[in-house]
Amino acid sequence: MRFLDDDLAKLTLRLGVGGLMLFHGFHKVIHGVSGIKAMLSASGLPDVLAYGVYAGELVAPLLLILGIYSRASAGVVAFTMLSAIYLAHANALLALGKHGAPLIELPLFYLLASLAIMLLGPGRYAINSR
């Protein structure tokens, strides 16, 4: 008999990624996306793409928490993190911080955790579980 099951682990992963990512989204709501617009412009991309951060840091995390379209929502978060790594951390991909961890540790963690959710699925503790 198992004390904990895989579905509880999937719920924990969804709540962790979604809940923590919401803080980043709330920051963008309060302070705007002008910094992201500047990074996009500096990379030669249209700055209107900055508004996509609301999908990746607000809508998708909320859907992850609720367990609605979790695989697709995790894909949106993963794409957001790939974009963040490219725009904000491209020059530090192999750089280490003063404690020996990669400088891109947090966005990389969100990226990998989102990919894990995509592969594992939402589990039975999700609104649209099968």
Rounded distance between C-alpha atoms, residue 119 and residue 55, angstroms: 21
In degrees, rounded to 5, the angle at the alpha carbon of residue 91 between the alpha carbons of residues 46 and 79 is 50
Is the entire prediction scored with pTM above 0.85? yes
How many beta carbons lie within 10 A of that of residue 114, not counting itself?
A: 30
Which pLDDT tens digit goes with each residue over 46-104? 999 999 999 999 999 999 999 999 999 999 999 999 999 999 888 888 888 888 888 88
Give the separation between CA 78 and CA 125, rounded to whole angstroms.
21
AA letter at 73: S
